[in-house]
Structure 1
């Protein structure tokens, strides 16, 4: 059985923004003194780094007979067809084609995604939208888990 695991890490530019937030905090505290300025730099960098790290820690996995996306665990038996979305379709399915009932693990900095139908009649969720950097491999892993 083919397994799949991906961490949706934040882009490097977001880490630069985290450092710039620390610099901004330091500049705000500069009139108060040197020690508060250093505290603002360290605290601002640390806090913004925690936020970037937490947002980029989301994982998508196909383990055994389940698709695990973030906190959601969906049995493969409840999944229907999986569709690879290119960059244009990715934008369409997260904007004007989106259904408010859908499960969406969306990261705007990832340009491709997979749309997986949910066929469980007791579940009102019509599909799962999963941002992924390797959509073909995810679809193949889901197909292998179904077999």
Structure 2
């Protein structure tokens, strides 16, 4: 009978910090909601029904596949990724240079309704997902841009806000 052994801790890389000490890149990928995916099922059925009377069973299969490809293409175009580096914050194709950030605050789930309703400036840039409660509001100081701030949905608002503050050197 062999004695149980304790697993050894994973080796620490020599090239830098690990775990909580490592800077977070703010990367989050946002996909459309499940209900949005389900709402595109008629494209699959419709493709099959359009092709069925013309080409029969095989045509219906091809029509269903084409409908599914159309649905997946549209739905993938609705997804975005956030990413933070030392110079900019990217949300999908939108880019925010960190040099124009003047402040960052967290919008909690409870504050969200006011932040996106009566308290919203119509010139603000919004990158939100309705099913995600928290967000960050990134205030801008750019005389060449009328956008006063960005509101971005995030699963980790405190962490994203602190990383943006640290990298932009704002308050």
Pairwise same-fold verdict (TM > 0.5): yes
- Once the 2 structures are TM-superposed, how far is the Cα of residue 20 of structure 1 from its aligned partner? 4.5
The 2-side partners of 1:77 and 1:137 are apart by: 19
| Equivalent residues in 2 for 1:15-34, closer than 5 Å | 15-32=37-54, 33-34=56-57
1:69 to 80, 91, 116: 91
- Once the 2 structures are TM-superposed, how far is the Cα of residue 6 of structure 1 from its aligned partner? 1.3
As a proportion of its length, which structure holds more helix? 1
As a proportion of its length, which structure holds more strand? 1
Give the aligned partner of residue 145 of structure 1.
167
| Higher deviation after alignment, 112-121 or 100-109 | 100-109
Across the aligned residues of Structure 1 and Structure 2, the Cα RMSD in angstroms comes to 2.2
5+ residue gaps, structure 1: none
The 2-side partners of 1:37 and 1:15 are apart by: 21
The 2-side partners of 1:43 and 1:92 are apart by: 42
1:86 matches 2:108:
yes
The 2-side partners of 1:83 and 1:120 are apart by: 18
Q: How many residues are matched?
A: 146
| Higher deviation after alignment, 63-72 or 46-55 | 63-72
1:120 matches 2:142:
yes
